[in-house]
Amino acid sequence: MIEELKRKGHEIKVVAIRKDVTCELLDAFNILYEIISETSVKGIIEKGIIFLKTTYAIFQASRQFKPDMYFGRSSPMMAINSFFFRKPHILFEDTEIASFSLMICKVFSNVIITPTCFTKDLGHKQLRIEAYKELFYLYPNYYRPNFGSLDGSGVDYDEKYIIIRFLAWDAHHDIGKSGLTLETKRKAIREFEKYGRVFITSEKPLPDEFEKYRITVSPEKMHDLLCYATLLYGESSTMASECAVLGTHAIFCDFAGRGYTDEEESRYDLVYNFRLDSSSQEASIEKAVELLQEKDLKEKGREKRERLLNEKIDVTSFMVWFMENYPGNVGSMNDKPPFGFT
C-alpha cells in the first residue's frame, strides 16, 4: 500500500513501535520509519506510561510532518492525535479483543474498516469488507512464493515439515494470559516428528530442550516458509490466517476467538480453533495429527485457497481507492458497493 500511494504521488511517514520483528521487516523492505515506542513492558502502569509517551511522540511527529490523513490499525494514540490536528483517521482492525483501543477509536477515529466476519458492531463508523489484513501483503498481485529464499535454512524442497509458533503474550489485551503449557509443547513436538521435521519460531526465548528446533529464517522470508509447510500449529492468529490465505492448514490455540480465524474454519476449513484449557490443548494435537495423516493435505489446501481468493478482495487496491477518495466515497458506497463492501 505504501508503494502504491507513493507511486501516485503521495508522501508517506511511517511511525513504528518496536515489537517482535516490526523493524526488521521495515528495514528489509527499505521503508523509512521513526521509532516512537517500545513494547517490552508488561504491567498496566508501565503500559499506561508508554501510552502517554507514544501519544506525545506521534504529536511531535505530526507537528513536523503535517499529515492530511492518519492510517493504521486501531491505535488509540493515533486516533487522539488525529482529533488534535483535526485530520481524518482511517483504520483497519480485525481483533475483537482489542477492546481498549477500539473504545477510544470509536470516539476519535473517522472510519473503522473491518472484515465482514468481525463479530462486534462498532456503530456507524464501521465499514465491513470481504478481506483479511493478511491479504494486504499476501494477495497474488503482491506475493509470489519463492522456495529459493529458504536456501541455507535447512529445509529441503520435497520434505514434509511442520511449523510451531509461540507468542510472548505481552500485548495489552494479553495481560494476565498465557499460552500453551510446557507439556503440550513437548507432546506436540513428539507427535509431529512422526510425520515430518519440526521447526519452531518464537517471540520469546526457548527452553534449552527446544533450541534444536528453532528455525533461522529472516522475517521477510517467513511467508515462504509457511507457504511450503505441511501444517502450522501454535498461538498466533496472524500466522494462522497467513497460512489460510497461502493454502496451508493451521491449528490456532488461544484464550479468545477471532472472527477471521472462525470464518477461516467454518467457511474455508483451513484454520482450526482451540481454546487454551487443558482438554482443548489435547484436542488440538489430535486434530493436527489427523491432518498430518492425510496424504493429499497440501493439494486440498490449494483448492480451498482458490475459493478463498475468489471470495475476497484486493484490499490494497480498495484501501488506496478509499483513502484517495475520502470522504466522498463513503456516501456513494451505500448506493453502489465497490470492492465487496457491505
One DSSP character per residue, 187-246 reads HHHHHHTTTSEEEEEESSPPPGGGGGGB----GGGHHHHHHH-SEEEES-HHHHHHHHHH
Single-letter residue type at 114:
T
At 14-24, the pLDDT tens digits run 999 988 889 99
115: β partners: 129
In the prediction, which pLDDT does 55 show?
A: 96
Q: Say which residue, 330 or 255, is predicted with more confidence.
A: 255
> Residue 47 has what pLDDT?
84
Under the banding of pLDDT at 50, 70 and 90, the label for residue 41 is low
On average, the pLDDT of the chain sits at: 90
The pLDDT of residue 172 is 44
Q: Which has more confidence, 263 or 169? A: 263
As a whole number, mean pLDDT of residues 53-82 equals 96
Q: Is the pLDDT of residue 214 over 80?
A: yes
What percentage of the chain reaches a pLDDT higher than 70?
92
- pLDDT band of residue 158 (cuts 50, 70, 90) is confident
Give phi and psi for 89, each to the nearest 5.
-120, 115
Greater model confidence, 276 or 172: 276
Quote the pLDDT of residue 177. 47
Strand order in the sheet with 197-202: 197-202, 161-166, 231-234, 250-254, 271-275
The strand ranges marked E within the chain are 15-18, 34-38, 70-72, 89-92, 111-115, 126-129, 161-166, 197-202, 231-234, 250-254, 271-275
pLDDT band at 337 (very low <50, low <70, confident <90, very high): very low
> pLDDT band for position 91 (50/70/90)?
very high
177-181, 199-203, 272-276, 298-302: which range is least confident on average? 177-181
* pLDDT band for position 216 (cuts 50, 70, 90): confident
In this prediction, what percent of the chain has a pLDDT beyond 90?
75
Band (pLDDT 50/70/90 cuts) for residue 168 is: low
Report pLDDT digits (tens) over 182-211. Answer: 999 999 999 999 999 999 998 888 889 999
Backbone angles phi, psi at 57, to 5 degrees: -65, -40
